Chains A and B, each alone.
Chain A
Amino acid sequence: MSSMLTRLRRLPTVQVTLAIALLVLGFVVAAQVAGEKPRSQYTTQERAPLIDSALRLQSAQEALKGQIVDLRRRIGDLEAENPGAADSLRQLYADLEAARLAAGLIPISGPGLAFRLEDGGAGGGVDAIVSAQDVRFLVQQLWLAGAEGISVNGERLAGTSAVIDIGGSILVNSAYLAPPYEIRAVGPADLYDRLRGSVAFIGFVQGRIERSGISLTVAVRDAIDLPAYAGTINLRYAAPAPSSAP
C-alpha cells in the first residue's frame, strides 16, 4: 500500500492532470454521442446556409413575439388610463380585459401540472421519438380533464394553434421546438387525478409511452405559470357576423 502511494507521489503533476483531463474528455464525448440519438443523421455541408437562415428567422421571431407582448401590455395600460371615467367606458375596459383573459392573451398562474416528454434511447428507433401526435394527444387529454390553459415549451396554446411535425421535432405557433417537451397546464387542483381516470390517457401511457421507451414524467404543482399567447390575432377572412355585432 505504502509503495503504491510512493509510486503515485512520484508521478509528475502534468501526467496526472493530463490523465484526469482525458478521462473527463472521454466521459463528455461518450455523453455527447449517447445524446445524439437517431435525430442527428444529417451532417452535409450544403445544409449550413439553411441552418443559418432558420436560426436568423427564429431569432427574428422571438424578437417579434417580444414586441407583441410589450405592445399589448402598453395598450392595456393606456386603455386603463383612459381619461374618460364614465361607467360605460369602465365596463368596456373590463369587457376587454375579460376577452383578453379568455383568449389567452394574458399570462396566468394557478394550480396545475407539468409533463415532460422525452425521446427514448437510440435503440428504440423512430418509435422512440416524441411526435406532434404525442404532444397533441396529451394536450387533448388535458383539455378534456378540465385544463384552462396550456403551454408547450413556453408557447401558450390558443384556439388557432397547430402542433405539427417537422423532422424529428415540432412546430407550435410557428415556433420550432426541440425535445424534451414540457407541457404545462393550469386547471383544477385535481387535474392529474382526473387525467388518471381517463381510459384514453391510461391507454396512451401503456400502449405508446411504455412500449416505445419514451419518457413521460409529471410534476403536480400548486402554482404553474403560463405565458401570454404572443402570436397574431389579425383576422383577414373572418368578420363578426352582423347579428353578433354590437
Chain B
Amino acid sequence: MSGRHIGSAHGAREGAHARRLRGPDTRTSRVTITVVGALLGILAIGQLNAQAGAPTLAGLSASDLTQLIANLTTGNDQLRAEVADLDGQRADLENAHARGETTVDQLQADLDRIRAWAGLTAVTGEGIAIVIRGPIGGDAVEDLVNELRNAGAEAIAVDGVRVVLGIVVAGAPGALSVENHPIGETFEIRAIGSPQILTGTLTRTGGVVAQVTASYPDAQVTVTPAEQLTLPATERSLIPAHGQPRL
C-alpha cells in the first residue's frame, strides 16, 4: 500500500515533470494565446486609428453629439442642394454640347455666382448690422466674424472693408486695423444672411456678444436686423502668386 502510495507519488511526480516539459495544459495555453492575440489585434488597430487622427467621437458628451448631429444635418442638406445644382449645370452643359451650342449665359451666371461668393463683386441682400462702440481687440472682432460665418453669413464687411479669404482684423483695443485701414472706436460689421438666424446666434445667452462684452466691459455691441445691405467688393487680389493650380 505504502509502496503503491510511494509508487503513485513517484508516478505523479513523473507526470508533473512531463507536463512541465510539454508546458502547462496545452489546450488552455492555446486558448489563452488566441485570446491575448485577438486582444492585441483589437488594441493595435485602435491605437493605429488614434495615431492616424481618425475622428473619435467617444470623447463627446450626449449634448456635444446632438450639436454635432445638428451641424452635420444642416451641412449635408446644403451640400445636397449644391450637388443638385451642380448636376443641373453639368446636364445643361452636356445637352448644349450635344446640340453644338455655346453656353455663354451659363458660363456668365457661374462666373457671377463664384465672384459674388468669393467677395470679388459687391453684393446686396438682407442681414444684420452690428454696431460696436468702445475699445475692443482684434480677437473679439474675429470672434464675431467667426460666429457670423458659423451662423451662415454669406458676405461680411468690417468698417466698409469686405472680409474675404486672408483678411484679418488685428490690433489692440483702440488700435484696430483691417487691410491697413485703421478702425475707430465706433464701427460697424455688416453681414448678409438670414437676419433671424444671425441675430439669434449672436445674441443668445452666453453667445459671442455676451462673451465679447464680458471681455471688453467698456464696449457696447448692438445687433440690428437690416432689410437691405450692400457690401463692397474686395480690393485685394485673391489669385495666388506662389501657389500653382494642381490638376
B47 touches A28 (CB 8 A): yes
Q: Which residue of B40, B44, B83, B118 contacts A103 across the interface (Cβ within 8 Å)? A: B118
Report the bound CA distance from A106 to B149 in whole Å: 21
A75 touches B101 (CB 8 A): no
B56-94 vs A, CB cutoff 8 Å, 1 = contact: the mask equals 111111101111110111111011111101110110011
Report the bound CA distance from A139 to B67 in whole Å: 24
A17 touches B55 (CB 8 A): no
Q: Which residue of A64, A162, A173 contacts B80 across the interface (Cβ within 8 Å)? A: A64
Q: Which residue of A136, A162, A178 contacts B55 across the interface (Cβ within 8 Å)? A: A178
Report the bound CA distance from A182 to B52 in whole Å: 11
Within 64-115 of A, Cβ neighbours of B (below 8 Å) are at 64-65, 67-68, 71-72, 74-75, 78-79, 81-84, 86, 88-89, 92-93, 95-96, 98-112
Which B residues are in CB contact (< 8 Å) with A153? 53
Report the bound CA distance from A162 to B154 in whole Å: 12
Q: Which applies to chain B's interface (DSSP): helix, strand, loop or mixed?
A: helix
Report the bound CA distance from A103 to B62 in whole Å: 36
Does B126 touch A at the CB level, under 8 Å?
A: yes
Report the bound CA distance from A189 to B242 in whole Å: 8
Within 123-175 of A, Cβ neighbours of B (below 8 Å) are at 136-137, 140, 143-144, 147-149, 153, 157-164, 166-169, 171, 173-175
Which B residues are in CB contact (< 8 Å) with A104? 118, 165
Does A238 touch B at the CB level, under 8 Å?
A: yes
Contact status of A148 and B87, CB under 8 A, knowing A21-B37, A235-B117: no
Q: Which residue of B lies closest to A177 (CB)?
A: B55
Within 183-227 of A, Cβ neighbours of B (below 8 Å) are at 186-189, 200, 225-226
A21 touches B36 (CB 8 A): yes
Taking the closest CB of chain B, its distance from the CB of A180, in whole angstroms, is: 6
Q: Which residue of A54, A82, A106, A240 contacts B68 across the interface (Cβ within 8 Å)? A: A54
A64 touches B54 (CB 8 A): no
Does A233 touch B at the CB level, under 8 Å?
A: yes
Taking the closest CB of chain B, its distance from the CB of A238, in whole angstroms, is: 4
A24 touches B246 (CB 8 A): no
24 CB contacts below 8 A, A to B, read A41-B61, A53-B69, A54-B69, A58-B55, A75-B89, A75-B93, A82-B97, A84-B101, A102-B239, A103-B114, A106-B246, A107-B246, A108-B244, A110-B244, A148-B243, A160-B154, A162-B149, A168-B59, A186-B243, A226-B246, A234-B81, A234-B82, A234-B85, A241-B122
Q: Which one of B30, B71, B87, B166 has the greatest number of beta carbons of chain A within 10 Å?
A: B166
B223-247 vs A, CB cutoff 8 Å, 1 = contact: the mask equals 0000000110100011111111111
B123 touches A28 (CB 8 A): no
Does B164 touch A at the CB level, under 8 Å?
A: yes
Q: Which residue of A47, A58, A78 contacts B94 across the interface (Cβ within 8 Å)? A: A78
Does B161 touch A at the CB level, under 8 Å?
A: no
Tell me the number of A-to-B contacts counted with CB atoms below 8 Å. 350
Report the bound CA distance from A78 to B86 in whole Å: 12
Within 140-187 of B, Cβ neighbours of A (below 8 Å) are at 142, 146-147, 149-150, 153-155, 163-168, 170
Contact status of A240 and B39, CB under 8 A, knowing A79-B93, A159-B163, A235-B154: no
B242 touches A186 (CB 8 A): yes
Taking the closest CB of chain B, its distance from the CB of A239, in whole angstroms, is: 6
Within 23-58 of A, Cβ neighbours of B (below 8 Å) are at 24-25, 28-29, 31-32, 35, 39-44, 46-47, 50-51, 53-55, 57-58
Report the bound CA distance from A178 to B53 in whole Å: 6
Contact status of A99 and B72, CB under 8 A, knowing A28-B47, A104-B165, A159-B165: no
Within 88-110 of B, Cβ neighbours of A (below 8 Å) are at 89-90, 93-94, 97, 100-104, 107-108, 110
Contact status of A162 and B167, CB under 8 A, knowing A42-B59, A96-B111, A235-B117: no
Q: Which residue of A53, A82, A148 contacts B241 across the interface (Cβ within 8 Å)? A: A148
Contact status of A237 and B64, CB under 8 A, knowing A12-B22, A42-B59, A178-B55: no
